[in-house]
Amino acid sequence: MLPGLAALILAEYTAISQHADKTRIAFWGNIILLIINLVLLIAGKIYRKNNPLDEETTEMLEQARAREREKGGRKVRNIIAYTLLGGVFLTILIGFNLTLADITGAPKQATNRPGGNISHMAVPDSERVRTVLTDRNFETAEIPVSYWFIEEDKLMYVAAGAKDDIKFEFYDYDGTETATGVFNQIIERISIGLPSAERDQNIAELPGGKMFAMTENGIYSVVIYKGNTVIYAYSPETSSETKDILIELGYIKDKAI
């Protein structure tokens, strides 16, 4: 029963989790469960072979099976009853997940609405980011993001792309306050050793957000928050593609910033 319970928990996790790598976790979880089930099956066969039943118990089992065959009609009725009961349980489970998805998904639909509040500014969503990256020949399938663990429970969507030595990551959070906090934490992680005064000089104000940019050892790194979204990207200093993407997505207006 335990592998079955584990499979149910894994399915629930996949349905409701906002973890960026939940698909990969679910895949490996299913592989592990398959291995466990195979081990249990083999162990059961070995046990039965090494511990055969005595003649009296074997005869009792045969009699019980004979009685079950005589009650075939009742067995059919039981199967039908169990099937109906299972259907009811499955319907309740699906309804629960759909309701939970609506509850947790409501902010996701509201984050990109234009409006007076900064948290509802017109910012691109993850699909728009993926489209722009794909059009520029970035690999976007199963690309991990670097800072998913920061405010993970408030992370709504992610998108990422990689091409040569360029990496572009997009994070969509539940509000501006969360995005601001993530922005500051990423800056602290990528600018270790940089004096705070110099770090502040590398921050520029944007409409509805801020931008941090630095170049070190020939690598240009940029962190932006705008509304409820955060961008983290890096590329060779000689490449202008990161800025081109930011302009296309509407985060900046020109490359001079």
- How confident is the model over 164-179, as pLDDT tens digits? 999 999 999 999 999 9
- 102 CB-side CA count, 13 A: 5
Task: Pick out the chain residues at pLDDT < 70.
Answer: 1, 3-4, 8, 10-24, 53, 68-79, 81-82, 85-122, 256-257
DSSP letters for 124-166: --HHHHHHHHHHTT-B-TT---TTTTTTGGGEEEEEEEEETTE
Determine the 3-state secondary structure of 231 from DSSP. Answer: strand
Q: How many CB atoms lie within 10 A of CB 126?
A: 18
**Span 46-101, pLDDT tens digits:** 877 787 767 777 777 777 777 766 666 566 666 676 677 666 655 665 565 555 44
Backbone angles phi, psi at 212, to 5 degrees: -115, 130
